[in-house]
Amino acid sequence: MKLYYPNAIKMPCPHYNARPNGPKGVVSLLVIHNISLPAGFFGGNYISELFAGTLDCEAHESFDELNGLKVSAHVCIRRDGKILQYVDFAQRAWHAGVSVFEGVAGCNDYSVGIELEGTDNHAYTDAQYASLQDVTCYLFSQFPMMTSDRIVGHNTIAPGRKTDPGDAFDWPRYLSALA
C-alpha cells in the first residue's frame, strides 16, 4: 500500500528503503526539519534536485559538502505552503541521520520526516504552518502510534549535531493547532 498525502505534489526520489519489519518499523514519530539551498535562499529546485540525486554540486560554492550525499525527507513544505512529497510514508526516508528518541536509535526506521523550507532564524510562513497542520492530521489518521507528544525537532533527536527547525519555529502555535 502506498501512502501519499492526497494534495501533495509527487516528486522523484531514489533515496529511501524499506522500514524494518517488526515493532521497530512501526511509524510512531514525526521529525520536523528545515532546509534551504543555498542556506537562506528560498525558491528554485535545488532541494528537489538534492533529494533526487541530480543536484549539480558545482552550481554554488556551498554545495561542495553535498557531493555524494544521499538524503531525503518524506515531505518538503515550500514557503508558499506547497507540499512536495518525495518518499511514500510507508517507506524509510533518509532524513534523521545518527539519532535517538527516548532511547531508541535510528529514528529513520520509525519516523516521518518533514522539511520546512527555511532556516533556524527566518519566521516560517502562515501557509507553511497551515500545510504542516494538514499533513500532521493526515499522518495521525494513518499512524495511530504517532501522537502529538511524539513530534520533535531534528535538534531533539540529534543534539549537538543538528539545530533545525530552530528558534524560528513556533512550537506552541503548531501544537496548539493540533489540539
- For residue 60, the tally of other CB atoms under 10 A from its CB is 15
* In contact, 31 and 111? CB cutoff 8 Å: yes
49 annotated active-site: no
Cell numbers 514525526: residue: 30
Radius of gyration of the chain (CA): 15
- In the bound state with Zn ion, the residue whose beta carbon lies nearer, of 6 and 132, is 132
Alpha carbons 40 and 48: distance in angstroms, whole number: 16
User: Do residues 116 and 171 make contact, with C-beta atoms less than 8 angstroms apart?
Assistant: no
Those residues with Cβ within 8 angstroms of residue 102's Cβ, 6 or more apart along the chain or in another chain: none
Q: Is 74 in the site for Zn ion (CB under 5 A)?
A: no
Among 49, 154, 157, 166, contact with Zn ion (rule: CB under 5 A): 154
The identity of residue 161, as a single letter, is R
Given 61, 65, 102, 115, the catalytic residue: 115
Binding mask 102-141 for Zn ion (x = CB under 5 A): ----------------------------------------
Asked if 15 interacts with Zn ion (CB under 5 A), we say: no
Q: Does 92 bind Zn ion (CB under 5 A)?
A: no
Nearest distance, CB of residue 22 and Zn ion, angstroms = 26
Shortest CB 2 distance to Zn ion, Å: 24
Number of residues that bind Zn ion (CB under 5 A): 3
Answer positive or negative: Cα dihedral of 172, 79, 8, 38: negative
Binding mask 23-42 for Zn ion (x = CB under 5 A): ----------x---------
Residues of the shown chain interacting with Zn ion in the complex, contacts defined by CB under 5 A: 33, 154, 164
